[in-house]
Structure 1
Amino acid sequence: MENKTSKYFKYAIGEIILVVIGILIALQINNWNENRKQYLAEIEFLKGIKNDLIQDSIYIDLIIRTIEPKLNAFNSLNKRISNYTEGNDIGKDSLFHTYLFVGQRTFYPVSGSFQSAIAGNAINTFEHKDITGLIIKLYNSIYPRLIDNASILDQRWDLLTQQYLEERRTKQIVITTQDKAKKVINDMYYHYLQLNWYHEVLENTKEHISITLQKIDD
């Protein structure tokens, strides 16, 4: 009787051990599957972010190329204003045309991949914290600052273009006195200050994007 009880006890212990091992294996497989899903989700996220940032970088370059001629034009006009001769139509100077008649672009980021990641809080579960930290800083701090500056710049550009609506429509501006030239440059100056600052913020943003892309590629 004791032998039978001992056998049953050993059998029961063996069954329990097998069940526990089965549960542990199932848990391990489940954890592996979850880790695999998270890994793939992070890879897809980084791939999407990389594509978005490349597009953003290209567009920032385009905007910088449209800004720099205006900045150079204003700086040249500001230096040369005292050398203009009364009576000459200095409004024909192409630098005035560069600043007043060439349109303005401002930047707004592509944010689809980032918005998808934060919607389900997935970004906080990703393994590469150094990369996600750079990305979060970009979208939550740097980009909003850039957008705010773009909004101010657009407002100042609207104000300037309203002041010179007819000149922009006809593509010509008549400036035959130094006083008129100074007035035009003073009107441009309010916009120029913000344009110069916006240019600096764009350059800083571009640098942060470059660092982030490098981290992703590494």
Structure 2
Amino acid sequence: MISFFRKIRQKLLQEGLPAGQAGKVINYLKYATGEIFLVVVGILIALSINNWNETRKDQIAEGEFLEGIKNDLTEDRIYIEYILNRIEPKIEAYNQLNKDLPLDYIIDKIEIDSLLGVYIFVGQRTFYPISGSFQSAVAGNEINTYKNKELIRSIIKFYNSTYSRLIENGQILDERWDRLSQIYSHQRRLGHFDQLNDTKFSLILDDIHFHFVQLQGYQTSLISSIEEIDRIINNIEY
């Protein structure tokens, strides 16, 4: 642009314009060049401000997303702890029924009935996560614009992998619990077992074992999920 005006100036001088007129043209060209320079600088400043505003908006959006994830995971952690507290008595009851006590229902009827009640009469809870913040960011494709790539990858992996497996394991556990509840619906309705002999007691343990194996694995998955939740929350706070 500057070289263009320089050529015009040189051409005007070569055409032999009067000194006064040539001076006016030169002054005009200087003025025009200055105006163009100011316009260009103004545009660059405007673009810089716009980019700064967009970056700031992205940072705010990312901060709100991470805060939402933190709140959701905190609530999830509380509920997982609640479920674990309900699982633990069942685990202990089965272990006592299967290992610690002699398989003699007649001798240990009161204690065995109590432990069977803990396992079969007490309801079951499984976990489903709060995923509003995550799903919203994924649906709007905003999650791909966030800058903290390592943290975002860990969050995506957690929801898409860890939580997905946990939900699937919970569904299997629910199916086995439904089966167990149906088998012993009469006892659950009455709130106690009829007189059992050792053979029937052993069959009950077999039915419980099918559920217990899945319950034990589910417990392990819940504990692992809490550990991952703690790591993600710590990284967000950091």
Give the aligned partner of residue 84 of structure 1.
Answer: 104
1:116-170, Cα deviation, whole Å (9 max, x unpaired): 1112111111122222122111111111110000100000000000000000000
Q: Does 2:127 align with 1:107? A: yes
Return the alpha-carbon distance in structure 2 between the equivalents of residues 56 and 125 of structure 1: 26
Tell me the residue number matched to 2:3: none
CA positional deviation for 1:92: 5.1
Deviations 1:43-76 (A, max 9, x none): 1111111111110000000000000110111111
Once the 2 structures are TM-superposed, how far is the Cα of residue 90 of structure 1 from its aligned partner? 5.7
Aligned position for 2:201: 181
Shift in Å, 1:176: 2.9
TM-score (norm 2): 0.87
Gaps of 5+ in 1: none
Where does structure 2 lack aligned partners over 5 or more consecutive residues?
A: 1-20
Number of matched residues?
A: 218
Match of 2:76 in 1: 56
Tell me the percent identity.
50
When the two chains are superposed, the root-mean-square deviation of aligned CA atoms in Å is 1.6
- 1:12 offset after TM fit, Å? 1.9
Distance 1:90 1:169 in 2: 19
The Cα shift of 1:86 comes to 4.3
Deviation at 1:203, TM superposition (A): 0.6
Q: Which residue of 2 aligns with 1:5?
A: 25
Match 2:47 to one of 19, 24, 27: 27
Q: Secondary structure at the match of 1:93?
A: helix
Code of the residue aligned with 2:69 in structure 1: it is I
Q: Which has the higher Rg, Structure 1 or Structure 2?
A: 2
- The CA distance in 2 between the partners of 1:87 and 1:193, in whole Å, is 27
Higher RCO structure, 1 or 2 (CA under 8 Å, sep 6+): 1
Q: Which residue of 2 aligns with 1:150?
A: 170
Letter in 1 for 2:65: F
Report the equivalent of 2:87: 67
- 2:113–2:192 contact (8 Å) kept in structure 1: no
